[in-house]
Chains A and B, each alone.
Chain A
Amino acid sequence: MKLEIKTISEKETEYIEIGCHKIDDRVNEIVQFVKQRQGSIDAFKDEKMYKILIADILYVESVDDRTFIYLAEECYESRKRLYEFESVLPTRQFARISKAVIVNLMKISYIKPALNGRFLCRLKNGEQVIISRKYVPDIKEKLKR
């Protein structure tokens, strides 16, 4: 496999691009490695601890003083409070969308209006989460940057 590295300006977002004939185990391994480099978080499911890759998180929700991490198909619990996630997760990629939810902006398919001045965002796994009107200006600002 040919390896190419090029330097880009500070203004541009750093990226890794893979050119391959097909997505096989070898490519998936590289993807997993890159995701791991972006960080991971400890989470629990059935009293077992797991390392969750930050890039795989769809959203984090706080329900009755408990915090849950949602991936495409699984849900884990975390001992961290929601406000602690705000400092742990990459601020560019994640945004607070309501009092109880932080969402991964990379995992949103589209946004549509709901009743009462709120919005619904449809995630890539088909789930929908509510965006409170209060947080809309912050999200707009974040997406414009």
Chain B
Amino acid sequence: MKERIKTLAGNFFISVTLINLAMLILGKLLRPDQQFGYEVFVYPLIYGIIGMIPALFVNGNKELTLKQAVIKEIAQMTMTVVVIVAFMFAGQPLTHEVVISAAGVALSVVIVYCLVVLIGWLIDLKTAVVLTEDLKHFQEESRE
């Protein structure tokens, strides 16, 4: 449980940082003249929390095979896209502009999601390198 909370918290903060970046790029591309108040600072946090919701439901204690884990990640990413797009655009009339914005947001969510997984993997790679080095020392000391 503790490890899962740590993982979710790590992913949340990486997501928030990347959502900030995505909002900047999407805003510049789609609505460069849009003006915001200070409340805009809370949006990445809200989207970060919304993005975590599928993880709370999909993540379980079951140990998955690599193939199952890949399928789970894809399912979780799709759910995240649906939840965020629904949160942002639900109730709005289906105009051409809204469709383009929604597609841009969906693409951004996919990119952010992939980057979160990639950054998490790179952090784990560092841990794996340290573990392997420690393991080599351990094996040398123990002398099979």
Contacts and interface: CB of A to CB of B under 8 A. Distances in A.
Given A106-B139, A119-B128, A130-B63, A55 B144 contact: yes
Nearest to A55: B144
Given A99-B63, A117-B7, A134-B3, A111 B142 contact: no
B141 A111 contact: no
Contacts of A140: 131, 134
A115 B70 contact: yes
Interface in B108-144: 117, 120-121, 124-125, 127-128, 131-132, 134-135, 137-139, 141-144
A100 B62 CA distance: 11
Interface string A1-40: 0000000000001010100000000000000000000000
Given A119-B124, A133-B7, A136-B127, A114 B66 contact: yes
B117 A115 contact: yes
Contacts of A93: 142
Nearest to A14: B143
A108 interface: yes
B125 A112 contact: yes
A113 B139 contact: no
B126 to A, nearest CB: 9
A99 B64 CA distance: 11
A92 interface: yes
Chain A interface residue bracket vs B: 20 to 34
Contact of B64 (A116, A133, A134, A143): A116
A82 B97 CA distance: 59
Given A13-B143, A99-B63, A106-B142, A113 B124 contact: yes
17 contacts: A13-B142, A15-B143, A17-B143, A105-B135, A106-B144, A111-B131, A111-B132, A111-B135, A113-B125, A113-B127, A113-B128, A116-B72, A117-B7, A120-B66, A132-B63, A136-B127, A142-B138
Given A99-B63, A111-B128, A139-B131, 20 more contacts: A13-B143, A15-B143, A92-B142, A98-B63, A100-B63, A110-B128, A111-B131, A111-B132, A113-B124, A115-B70, A115-B121, A116-B72, A119-B131, A120-B66, A130-B63, A130-B65, A132-B63, A134-B3, A136-B3, A140-B131
Interface of A: 13, 15, 17, 55, 92-93, 98-100, 105-106, 108, 110-120, 130, 132-134, 136, 139-140, 142-144
